[in-house]
């Protein structure tokens, strides 16, 4: 779908659905398209960082800058693939992979101690000092994690997290 | 595609949407529901609540909804209805619209032929008036003002517009005591405060009309009343002089035309043309009970209370956002509050080790 303001054909919808591994139904893809066009005000075929930041709820999110790096220049197909981790049909594997990608900002398939500290810094701002952050992290320090070790770490107790949360949206 | 979204359970914010939860009543941060106890690695690594909020905002957010004009469902798609619709279009554009334009022109001729002589000959004509009343209404389009003018002449506080509207503002509306402001000017607030004070203290001035949302909203939602107006008001001595605030609720019926003026999408001229070529603009106006500041109530609480009264009457959903976020980013302090609450919960658990 070259021009974002044109209508989506059935073929396009199926292509997008395949690309995101059937994480969304066709109706959901249509809704997402509606939303994509709403956000993409200048009709460029992708949503710029400015346009994302014009959504106040997104702009106040501590991880918005990180996510913007991942969202930059995505066309509709890729946009839907990005959001597929949040679909109720997404597998645990996909969700953890998404979290891993958010941490791994240099895209080298490794999450180092520093990566973890960076994310913690985003989440806590100036309310935790440098030392406190390191103090927290140092108990867990290993040279780096790859996706498999992160998966092992998180999946063991993920069910527990899901049951304890009242908003089960991510699970 | 109608305005309703498909079922996406990823947007947990859909549930929280209409709950006022920002500024004075902040959202419960990212990890409030964390079980207590020793801080584990996975607790640090698990950023899913924050991510969920972000994805929720991307998919649907309560702010953008306020300014979305939902196109009506097309009904003229079958062979019986289509000619009927064509006939309707012909009537609207070739009969109703010219008739309205003629009435408008005649009205202007009559008005100007009385106004201009009177304006120049009888400047400063005094009128007896009771104590200052302030009317507060929700805002959907500039025609709100025209609709309310049927009741009495108001001194309205408006954004100064360019073009022919601006000309109207500086000539005719000036004579009823309207006050202009300019969103983009920094010093503007002081000027407006001064003008307001003069107006409120004047004995012979028209009642004030304020649209505290500060911008046009799509008549399904109401955004936060701008604190600035109430503080300006406060400083202008309005409350000390015993002004009462009369809330007015305006609700448009979308049966023939959607009266929401989406200033980002169309100019006022186009909007006016759209209204004048429709069958009718149907509108309900409720003049509600006057309110006073209760003892011990802050101006902000008062504003929220008035907004509540108006929203309930007009069937609007309240949304905790400032209308001016259309033009600017939210201040960093909102993000900082989220960060602070997360930091506090993490530190607390660190200590529990």
Of B1, B325, B339, the CB nearest to A125: B339
Q: What stretch of H or E contains B179?
A: strand B179-181
pTM (two decimals): 0.71
- Judge whether A1 lies within some domain: no
Structure token digits, residue B82:
């289509």
Q: Which domain holds residue A14?
A: 10-163
- Residue A157: give its domain's CATH number: 1.10.238.10
Which residues on chain B are in Cβ contact (under 8 Å) with A165? 33, 49
DSSP secondary-structure letter at B74?
P
Residues 51-70 of B with CB under 8 A from A: 51-64, 68
Burial bucket for residue B78 (CB in 10 Å: 0-12, 13-18, 19+) = exposed
Of A78-87, B31-40, B319-328, B334-343, the range with the highest mean pLDDT is: A78-87
Q: Average pLDDT over chain B, rounded to whole?
A: 76
| φ, ψ dihedrals at B250, nearest 5° | -120, 125
Tell me the chain A residues in contact with residue B343 when contact means C-beta distances shorter than 8 Å: 123-125, 127-128
**What is the maximum span of chain A, computed from C-alpha positions, in angstroms?**
55
pLDDT, one tens digit per residue, over B170-212 is 777 777 778 777 766 667 777 777 777 777 777 677 888 888 8
At B305, is the secondary structure helix, strand, or coil? helix
Q: B51 and A56 in contact by Cβ < 8 A?
A: no
Closest partner residue to B44 (CB to CB) among A24, A135, A136 is A136
Instruction: State whether residue A70 sits within 8 Å of chain B by CB.
Output: no
pLDDT the model gives residue B14: 35
Q: Is residue B13 a contact partner of residue B68, using CB atoms and an 8 Å limit?
A: no
Mean of pLDDT values over B288-304: 82
Specify whether the CB–CB gap between B8 and A20 falls below 8 A: no
Q: Is A13 on the interface with B (CB under 8 A)?
A: no
pLDDT band at B353 (very low <50, low <70, confident <90, very high): low
In A100-159, the residues whose Cβ lies within 8 Å of chain B are: 102-103, 116, 119-120, 123-128, 132, 135-137, 140, 150, 153-154, 156-157
Q: Is the pLDDT confidence value at B30 over 80?
A: no
Most confident stretch, A83-92, A149-158, B154-163, B241-250? A83-92
CB contact under 8 A, B59 and A83: yes
d(CA B52, CA B229): 35
Over chain A, what HEC string results? CCCCCCCCCHHHHHHHHHHCCCCCCHHHHHHHHHHHHHHCCCCCCCCCHHHHHCCHHHHCCCCHHHHHHHHCCCCHHHHHHHHHHHCCCCCHHHHHHHHHHHHCCCCCCCEEHHHHHHHHHHHHHHHCCHHHHHHHHHCCCCCEECHHHHHHHHHHHHHHHHHHCCCCCCC
Render pLDDT for A34-63 as a digit per residue (tens, 0 to 9): 899 888 888 888 888 888 888 888 988 888
Give the residue from chain A lying closest to B264, CA to CA: A41
Task: Say whether pLDDT at B300 is over 70.
Answer: yes
pLDDT band at B12 (very low <50, low <70, confident <90, very high): very low
The span from the CA of A84 to the CA of A104, in Å, is 19
What distance in Å separates the CA atoms of residue B335 and residue B343, rounded to the nearest whole number? 12
- What is the arrangement of strands in the sheet containing B244-253, beginning at the earlier edge strand? B179-181, B155-159, B208-210, B133-137, B244-253, B282-287
Distance of residue A123 Cα from the nearest chain B Cα, in angstroms:
5
Cα B277 to Cα B92: distance, rounded to the nearest angstrom: 5
Q: Which of A46, A136, A169 to mutate to test the interface with B (most CBs of B within 10 A)?
A: A169
State the pLDDT at residue B312.
Answer: 93
B35-70: pLDDT as tens digits: 455 556 666 666 888 888 888 888 888 888 888 877
B339 vs A123: CB contact, 8 Å cut-off?
yes
Please say whether the beta carbons of B284 and B250 come within 8 A.
yes
Alpha-carbon gap: A102 to the closest alpha carbon of chain B (Å): 9
Which percentage of chain B shows pLDDT scores above 70? 76
Using a CB-CB cut-off of 8 Å, the residues of chain A touching B68 are: 38
B135 bridge partner residues: B209, B246
- Between A133 and A112, where is the model more confident? A112
Chain B residues near residue A104 by CB distance under 8 angstroms: none
Whether residue B335 and residue A62 make contact (CB cut-off 8 A), yes or no, is yes
In the prediction, which pLDDT does B29 show? 40
Whether residue B255 contacts residue B247, with contact meaning beta carbons closer than 8 Å, is answered with no
Q: Do A123 and B7 touch (CB under 8 A)?
A: no
Given an 8 Å threshold on Cβ–Cβ distance, is A167 in contact with B339?
A: no
Overall domain count for chain A: 1
Q: What is the pLDDT of residue B232?
A: 62
Q: Average pLDDT in the B259-272 region? A: 85
**Residue B211 forms contact with A (CB below 8 Å):** no
What's chain B's length in residues? 353
pLDDT in tens, B64-115: 888 887 777 777 777 888 888 899 999 999 999 999 999 999 999 998 888 8
Share of chain A above pLDDT 70, in %: 73
Among B222, B239, B243, which Cα is nearest to B304's? B222
Are A43 and A4 in contact, with CB atoms under 8 Å apart?
Answer: yes
> Mean pLDDT across the stretch A113-138?
76
pLDDT at A159 > cutoff 50: no
Nearest chain B residue to A53 by CA: give it.
B329
């Amino acid at each position: 779908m070259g021009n974002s303001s044109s209508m989506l054909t059935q073929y396009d919808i199926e292509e997008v659905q395949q690309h995101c591994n059937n994480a969304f139904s066709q109706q959901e893809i249509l809704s997402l398209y509606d939303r994509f066009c709403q956000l993409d005000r200048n009709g460029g075929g992708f949503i710029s960082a400015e346009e994302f930041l014009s959504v106040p709820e997104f702009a106040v999110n501590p991880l918005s800058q990180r996510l913007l790096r991942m969202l930059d220049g995505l066309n509709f197909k890729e946009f839907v693939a990005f959001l597929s981790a949040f679909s109720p049909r997404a597998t645990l594997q996909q969700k953890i992979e998404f979290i891993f990608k958010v941490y791994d900002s240099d895209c080298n398939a490794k999450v180092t101690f520093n990566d973890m500290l960076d994310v913690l810094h985003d989440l806590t701002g100036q309310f935790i000092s440098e030392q406190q952050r390191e103090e927290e992290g140092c108990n867990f320090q290993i040279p780096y994690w790859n996706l498999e070790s992160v998966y092992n770490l998180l999946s063991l107790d993920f069910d527990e997290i899901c049951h304890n949360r009242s908003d089960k949206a991510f699970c | 595609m109608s305005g309703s979204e498909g079922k996406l359970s990823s947007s947990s914010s859909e549930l929280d949407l209409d709950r006022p939860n920002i500024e004075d009543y902040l959202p419960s941060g990212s990890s409030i529901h964390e079980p207590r106890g020793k801080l584990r690695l996975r607790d640090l690594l698990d950023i899913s609540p924050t991510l969920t909020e972000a994805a929720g905002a991307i998919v649907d957010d309560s702010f953008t909804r306020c300014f979305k004009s939902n196109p009506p469902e097309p009904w003229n798609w079958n062979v019986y209805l289509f000619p009927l619709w064509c006939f309707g279009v012909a009537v609207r554009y070739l009969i109703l619209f010219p008739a309205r334009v003629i009435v408008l022109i005649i009205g202007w001729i009559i008005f100007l032929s009385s106004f201009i002589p009177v304006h120049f000959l009888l400047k400063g004509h005094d009128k007896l008036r009771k104590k200052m009343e302030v009317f507060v209404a929700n805002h959907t389009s500039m025609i709100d003002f025209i609709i309310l003018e049927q009741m009495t002449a108001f001194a309205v506080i408006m954004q100064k517009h360019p073009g022919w509207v601006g000309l109207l503002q500086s000539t005719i509306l000036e004579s009823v005591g309207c006050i202009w402001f300019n969103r983009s000017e920094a010093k503007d607030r002081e000027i407006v405060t001064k003008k307001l004070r003069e107006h409120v203290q004047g004995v012979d001035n028209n009642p004030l009309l304020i649209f505290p949302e500060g911008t046009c909203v799509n008549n399904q939602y109401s955004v936060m009343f701008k604190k600035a107006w109430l503080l300006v008001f406060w400083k202008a001595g309005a409350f000390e002089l015993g002004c009462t605030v009369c809330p007015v609720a305006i609700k448009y019926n979308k049966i023939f035309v959607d009266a929401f003026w989406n200033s980002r999408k169309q100019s006022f001229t186009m909007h006016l043309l759209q209204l004048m070529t429709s069958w009718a603009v149907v509108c309900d106006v409720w003049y509600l009970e006057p309110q006073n500041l209760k003892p011990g109530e802050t101006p902000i609480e008062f504003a929220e209370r008035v907004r509540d009264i108006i929203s309930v009457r007009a069937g609007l959903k309240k949304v905790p956002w400032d209308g001016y976020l259309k033009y600017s980013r939210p201040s960093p302090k909102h993000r900082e509050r989220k960060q602070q609450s997360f930091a506090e919960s993490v530190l607390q658990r660190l200590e529990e080790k």
